[in-house]
Amino acid sequence: MRILIVDDDPDIRTLLGFHLKKLGHSVLAAADGYSALNKILQFIPDIVLLDIEMPGINGIETLKRIRTFDALKNTPVIMISAHCEQKYIIDTIKEGASDYILKPFNMGLLLGKINTWINSLLKESWKGFEPQQTQALNIGKSLVELSSKLIENGKPPSYSDTHIATKVLIDAVDRYGNLFIYSALDDGEDSLFVHTLKSASLLYLFAIKIGFNEQECFDMTMGGLLYDIGKALVPFALTFKPGKLEDGELVEIRKHVSYGVEFLQREPNMPSVVLDMCRGHHERPDGSGYPNGLRDADVTTPMRMAAITDTYSALTIKKVYRAAYTSNEAFNIILDSEKAFDKDLVRNFITPVAFDKTKNSPHFYI
């Protein structure tokens, strides 16, 4: 989780940062309201810890401004203050605070509150799902977070953990279809986890439709979970930039392919097709892709399938700079891209995209 600490006391920022980093969180810090707003808009934190008495604009005014942004209306904001009057606390909650803790605070209490809000962010909407569906979502989310943390620390993703996550996902999709994944993640913001889990489920169905055998379908699904993992090393300032990327910034973002390949090939048990998909999910049969400008037969079938799936998934997820395209709009963009995509594979990909296997007859969502 990405947590922003806003407090004019450097000792408090240091203390909170130390404990949160120790728990594996990514920590941002700001000393005043203006700095906090700049970092919030740049990095979109998952949780904000906000002091009230600060120079410039105080915590209450900062909170009000945070809540004016649509993307931040539901971001948990925990106020930290020495004000203990009940009316003051109630008024702060009415202004949009998610929670309130008194200074001097007990570290255990504060960390407990943070964990509660973290667990509620995604899991709250999964309560109505079947246990096997929830398990697939939780394990998939954990895998992406763990794999990202590993490569940030210079280590490759775990083959064993990825194998387990792949098996759990396939078992759930075999039983229920993959519509539950879309239902669980459609309201989510753009993230590696959302993109990855959707892509993996699509690639599994895609591989079945093409006629791949069981092991090939398994490997394609595993590839879906890992082909974009290099994005964990791309700075958020670039990933979430709302405006047009400069040429140099585009070069930096495109490095996620080489980052992913570099770390995946360090895992000796990683299937070659997973590396193939990572290496080639931005290559195109007409030679217009990157990083190597491969063309024709050099762009393998797994690469082509990953390219179609990756593009569809990216188009149908909301970005900071645009709304999500509908499925039909995304298909039309792909089909209109002339020779950039394999038309025969695209036709096989289109149906089904997401379906509920528990219905008496198939329900396709296009």
Structural domain containing residue 153:
128-350
Report pLDDT digits (tens) over 155-187: 999 999 999 999 999 999 999 999 999 888 765
Is the domain of 170 the same as that of 64?
A: no
The CATH number given to whatever domain includes residue 42 is 3.40.50.2300
The pLDDT value recorded for residue 133 is: 95
CB-based contacts of 163, cutoff 8 Å, min separation 6 = 222
| 160 shares its domain with 226 | yes
Same domain flag for 172 and 48: no
Query: Does any domain span residue 360?
Result: no
Residue 280 lies in a domain: yes
Residues 46 and 170 in one domain: no
Q: Are residues 193 and 305 in the same domain?
A: yes
The phi, psi pair for 355, rounded to 5°, reads: -150, 160
Q: Cβ(333)–Cβ(325) under 8 Å?
A: yes
Residue 112: per-residue pLDDT: 74
Residue 356 lies in a domain: no
Residues 32 and 172 grouped into a single domain: no
191 with 340, same domain?
Answer: yes
Q: Are 97 and 78 in contact (CB under 8 A)?
A: yes
pLDDT at 145: 85
Q: CA-CA-CA-CA torsion for 281, 1, 271, 346, nearest 10 degrees?
A: -30
Query: Structural domain tally of the chain?
Result: 2
Q: What is the pLDDT of residue 83?
A: 85
| 197 & 298 share domain | yes
Residue 190: CB atoms within 10 Å = 16
- Asked if 108 and 133 sit in the same domain, the reply is no
pLDDT confidence of residue 364: 42
Rounded to 10 deg, the angle between the 192-210 and 343-350 helix axes is 100
Residue 80 pairs in a beta bridge with: 51, 101
Which of 96, 123, 150 is where one domain is finished? 123
CATH number, domain at 287?
1.10.3210.10
Q: What is the pLDDT of residue 361?
A: 42
Residue 362 lies in a domain: no
Task: For residue 364, tell me if it sits in a domain.
Answer: no
Could you tell me if residue 309 is inside a domain?
yes
Q: Is residue 203 part of a domain?
A: yes
How far apart CA 360 and CA 357 sit, in angstroms, is: 8
- Regarding whether 202 and 80 lie in a shared domain, the answer is no
Ranges of H-type helices in the chain? 10-22, 33-43, 59-66, 86-94, 107-123, 131-152, 159-176, 179-185, 192-210, 214-226, 236-239, 247-254, 256-264, 272-280, 301-315, 327-335, 343-350
Q: What is the pLDDT of residues 56-104, one digit of tens each?
A: 899 999 999 999 998 898 899 999 998 888 888 888 898 899 999 898 8
Contact (Cβ atoms closer than 8 angstroms) between residue 333 and residue 313: no
Together in a domain, 303 and 275: yes
Q: Write down the pLDDT at residue 110.
A: 83
Q: Is residue 29 part of a domain?
A: yes
Task: Please say which residue of 123, 139, 162 terminates a domain.
Answer: 123
Task: Indicate if the alpha-carbon torsion angle 223, 224, 226, 228 is positive or negative.
Answer: positive
Are 343 and 328 in contact by the 8 Å Cβ rule? The answer is no
> Which among 123, 138, 154 is the end of a domain?
123
pTM of the model: 0.70
Specify the pLDDT at position 365: 42
Per-residue pLDDT of the chain (366 residues; tens, 9 = 90+): 799 999 999 999 998 998 888 777 899 999 999 999 999 988 999 999 999 999 889 999 999 999 999 889 889 999 999 888 888 888 889 889 999 989 888 777 787 788 667 756 777 778 889 999 999 999 998 899 899 999 999 999 999 999 999 999 999 999 999 999 988 876 555 678 888 999 999 999 999 999 999 999 999 999 999 999 999 998 866 776 656 788 998 999 999 999 999 999 999 999 999 999 999 999 999 999 999 999 999 999 999 999 999 999 999 887 656 778 888 899 999 988 878 999 899 988 876 566 676 664 444 443
Same domain, 327 and 206: yes
